[in-house]
Amino acid sequence: MGTPHNEAPQGAFAKTVLMPGDPLRAKFIAETFLTDARLVNNVRGVQGYTGTYQGTPVSVMASGMGMPSIGIYSHELFHFYDVDNIIRVGSAGAISPKLKLRDVVMAQGACTDSDYAHQFGLPGTFAPIADFTLLETAVAVARRMGVEPPVGSLLSSDVFYNKAGNTMDWGKMGVLAIEMETAALYCNAAEAGKRALTICTISDSLVTGEELPPADRQTSFTQMMEIALGVAVEMAKK
């Protein structure tokens, strides 16, 4: 049984799914890191693959851009495909002067300007946070690779071209970087009783104006990808 957005049969996805925004990044991860990767979903060109990494079944599927898009795909993976862990592997823009290009950042929590959580009918403001087991495991895997990742809050925004020009204000509250998906992913995981974590690579800086070219965003964020794959292996042991 598929869904309106996923033609994969039941059992086609591993318990852990890596979720980049870009379908070409999903393809790159599958072809570069997975053994015997097979395409299991290509509805709307949102490519999903399943293979193995160091003997552990792992899937990778694109989320598209923005909270409505990752909201759809993560909901279906959690509820219809029995996926337990989704690790977003994406790009983010630094709003903290402490970060530099290519830094790997882990989202302990997600601030947002979105009204995504309104659907859950809560009498207040929900705080979307990462699953601690995934976060703790990711930090341990990164340290084994010689990486000390910054961990903190990201801003998940509905707006890429912000006409108000106030994005940097979030940095005053210690928010590290801005992206467009994590808050919805963390909300969906909480509602489903599943696990989620975002690991992002800094692709540009709103502080300095530096940015990486699009080709680098597709293929050069290998450190982030290897950390996420290492988490998948560790989670399979738990």
In this structure, the chain runs to a length of 238
Give the separation between CA 174 and CA 196, rounded to whole angstroms: 22
CA 200, 190, 137: angle at the middle one, nearest 5? 45
Concerning whether 204 is annotated as a catalytic residue, the answer is yes
Instruction: Supply the DSSP string of 28-95, one letter for each residue.
Output: HHHHHH-EEEEEEE-GGG--EEEEEETTEEEEEE---SSHHHHHHHHHHHHHHS---EEEEEEEEEE-
CA dihedral 7, 130, 55, 224 (to 10 degrees): 100
Indicate which residue of 113, 169, 204, 216 is catalytic: 204
On whether the CB atoms of residues 167 and 155 are closer than 8 A, the answer is yes
Q: Name the residues annotated as catalytic.
A: 204
